[in-house]
């Protein structure tokens, strides 16, 4: 299927690395927010400051749970990390200042529908 393999595990893997002492939270922000926004020229993304889009993900650094690929929201229901217990998970996503996702439930539908051939 189309999509980015690992999109649902990339942040928990990074947060787990913070909990294990390999990275700091500022490292994660730089690697997953600031630098990608800069590289792709997304002017109102990648940080929290006046004029930015208010896209924020809240995390629970103590939450520990296994990766369950069968429960992914993407069409890809596989992962090399399936079954691995990770500590540090997103719990809420705010997009444009509006609640978009909380504890596994989506509250808004942004973007365009994708039709697969």
Residue 21: is it exposed, middle or buried by C-beta count within 10 angstroms (0-12/13-18/19+)? exposed
pTM above 0.75, yes or no: yes
50 HSE (CA, 13 A, CB side): 0
Query: For 70-116, what is each residue's pLDDT tens digit?
Result: 999 888 888 999 999 999 999 999 988 889 999 888 888 765 555 55
Q: Alpha carbon of 113 to those of 30, 105, 109: distances in Å? A: 30, 18, 9
Question: Which residue, 96, 117, 106, is CA-closest to 44?
Answer: 96
pLDDT value for 36: 93
> Which residue ranges form the domains of the chain, and what is each CATH number?
10-106 (2.30.40.10)
Using an 8 Å Cβ cutoff, are 28 and 19 in contact?
no
């Amino acid at each position: 299927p189309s999509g980015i393999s690992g999109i649902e595990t990339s942040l928990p893997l990074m947060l787990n690395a913070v909990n294990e002492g390999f990275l700091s939270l500022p490292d994660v922000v730089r690697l997953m927010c600031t630098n990608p926004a800069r590289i792709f020229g997304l002017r109102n993304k990648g940080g929290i400051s006046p004029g930015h889009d208010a896209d924020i993900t809240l995390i629970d650094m103590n939450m520990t749970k296994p990766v369950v690929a069968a429960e992914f929201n993407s069409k890809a229901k596989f992962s090399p990390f399936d079954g691995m217990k990770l500590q540090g998970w997103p719990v809420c996503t705010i997009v444009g200042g509006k609640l978009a996702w909380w504890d596994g439930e989506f509250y808004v539908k942004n973007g365009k529908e994708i039709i697969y051939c």
